[in-house]
Amino acid sequence: MKLRLLAAGTLAALALTAGAASAQDITSDKGKMSYALGYRAGGEIAQVLSSGEQLDMATVMKAFQDSVGNKEPAISPEQAAPVMQALQNRIVAKAKAELEKRAADNKTKGDAFLAQNKGKAGVKVLPSGVQYRVIESGSGAKPTQANQITVEFVTTLPDGTEVENTNKAINGQAPGPVTIRLSEIPMPGLREALQMMPAGSRWEVALPGSAAYGTTVERAGRMANQVLIFNIKLLSVGPVLPAPAPQGAGQGR
């Protein structure tokens, strides 16, 4: 965030003929719109800078002024295209390399956690590598992939960092249990464990990366190889629901 503010401030400072860097008006609609547009432009520059690229800010500002003034660009689209494509390729390659490094770190730390966790009292290991421990035993029905279920859970990383908690609001959603068709849960390891749980049970379930979001950065991004630990309670097993329609079903060509 500091880098984005710095870049936005640099553009603003270069643009103001009086040399003052403070916004003149951010209360009126015009002022808010002006600031938002300037901040967005600064954010795009900051994104490039944060990737390690070097920019000539005086040239950036000259191009900005030429564009605002509807002047002909100093370089042609044919000259700009290969340079910008090369920039995009470098940014993508660097981002992927960083994700690959993170995935490798996730695997190293995750494997160490799982090796230690499986030795704890009460922990059982499934052929998929999923580990679970019964905290509270339930006596209700066990769900199938087709059942609607209601659960509450806390998800953490091996270091204890909390990822999600149904008792806390998130992204505008009110806190509380989650009701979902079991087959729609994106993590295969969690689907596997839930089908073994009688309603009323609370388990601690540790998912290896392969049974969580996956092992490749193309699929899982920052969560590649990430071990996830669920403290999950199966509150109830609901009715069997029809399978979701295939994506695109019913749409015209």
CATH number, residue 125: 3.10.50.40
At residue 108, does pLDDT exceed 80? yes
Domain containing residue 58: 2-74
At residue 202, does pLDDT exceed 90? yes
128 and 67 both lie in a single domain: no
124 and 230 both lie in a single domain: yes
65 and 148 both lie in a single domain: no
At residue 150, does pLDDT exceed 60? yes
Average pLDDT on 77-92 reads 93
pLDDT band, residue 241 (cuts 50/70/90) = confident
pLDDT band, residue 201 (cuts 50/70/90) = very high
Cβ within 8 Å of residue 244, ≥6 positions away? 181, 184
Average pLDDT on 69-87 reads 92
CA angle 178, 184, 190 (to 5 degrees): 75
Q: Please report whether residue 178 resides in a domain.
A: yes
Q: Compute and round to an integer the Cα radius of gyration of the chain.
A: 26
Q: Please report whether residue 102 resides in a domain.
A: no
pLDDT band, residue 82 (cuts 50/70/90) = very high
State residue 22's pLDDT score: 61
Domains in the chain, number = 2
Q: Please report whether residue 14 resides in a domain.
A: yes
68 and 151 both lie in a single domain: no
Q: Please report whether residue 253 resides in a domain.
A: no
Q: Please report whether residue 92 resides in a domain.
A: no
Residue-averaged pLDDT of the chain: 87
65 and 149 both lie in a single domain: no
Q: Please report whether residue 112 resides in a domain.
A: no
The two structure tokens encoding residue 200: 């009323």
At residue 128, does pLDDT exceed 60? yes
Give the residue with greater pLDDT, 51 vs 226: 226
State residue 102's pLDDT score: 95
Last residue of some domain: 74, 97, 128?
74
Last residue of some domain: 19, 43, 74?
74
135 and 231 both lie in a single domain: yes
Average pLDDT on 14-42 reads 74
233 and 127 both lie in a single domain: yes
134 and 49 both lie in a single domain: no
222 and 123 both lie in a single domain: yes
126 and 222 both lie in a single domain: yes
Cβ within 8 Å of residue 67, ≥6 positions away? 73
pLDDT band, residue 248 (cuts 50/70/90) = low
At residue 188, does pLDDT exceed 80? yes
State residue 58's pLDDT score: 87
Q: Is 238 helix (H, G, I), strand (E, B) or coil?
A: strand
Last residue of some domain: 49, 74, 99?
74
State residue 172's pLDDT score: 81
Which of 62-66, 116-120, 124-128 has the lowest average pLDDT?
62-66
123 and 236 both lie in a single domain: yes
129 and 191 both lie in a single domain: yes
Which of 10-19, 43-52, 58-67, 87-96 has the lowest average pLDDT?
10-19
Positive or negative, the CA dihedral 243, 248, 252, 253 is: negative
State residue 23's pLDDT score: 58
Q: Please report whether residue 156 resides in a domain.
A: yes
Cβ within 8 Å of residue 27, ≥6 positions away? none
Q: Please report whether residue 183 resides in a domain.
A: yes
